[in-house]
Amino acid sequence: MAATLTDEIDVLAKARRALPGDYVPNETEPYMGEAQQDYFRRLLQEWKRSILSASAGTLASLQDGPIREPDLNDRASSETDWGIELRTRDRQRKLIAKIDSAIRRIDEGEYGFCEVTGEPIGLGRLVARPIATMTVEAQQAHERREKISRDM
């Protein structure tokens, strides 16, 4: 899981570096003004493109054929690696759905505002996690409620 999160952060960092220009949203401009919306839209689109590009490589490898390792230990290791890779791609498939949802929220003028409280999520959180839908406080409350319901 930690490796997957690290990979996700790396892909997001690559997407940021791929954006043209050197614009970075800041607190001195109007919150979710046109420049900020454009920045996040381009970032999300680039992030999605990067994920799809990486998954194309996995698909090509899968189409190369079955694993034919002569040694049972090598075969088990290869199958474990494939399992991890496929779980990573499934996680990324879900991430793409969240990216598409964030782009839709930008188009509808809802991006950057908490879906629970309606308050601004904040630029720092959105820069770190562009698909965020809740403020830090609302997210923490949500996670506490989930933990309590799981523990019952």
Where do the domains of the chain lie? 2-151
CA angle centred on 127, ends 121 and 131, rounded to 5°? 65
At 7 the pLDDT is 64
**DSSP line for 26-76:** -TTSPTT-HHHHHHHHHHHHHHHHHHHHHHHHHHHHHHT-----SSHHHHH
Each residue's pLDDT tens digit, 102-125: 999 999 999 999 999 999 999 999
Tell me if the pTM is above 0.75: yes
Going by pLDDT thresholds of 50, 70 and 90, the confidence category of residue 2 is very low
Each residue's pLDDT tens digit, 58-98: 666 666 655 666 777 777 877 787 788 788 888 888 999 99
Mean pLDDT estimate for the chain = 85
At 36 the pLDDT is 94
Q: Which fold has domain 2-151?
A: Four Helix Bundle (Hemerythrin (Met), subunit A) (1.20.120)
Rounded to an integer, what distance in angstroms lies between the CA atom of residue 124 and that of residue 103?
18
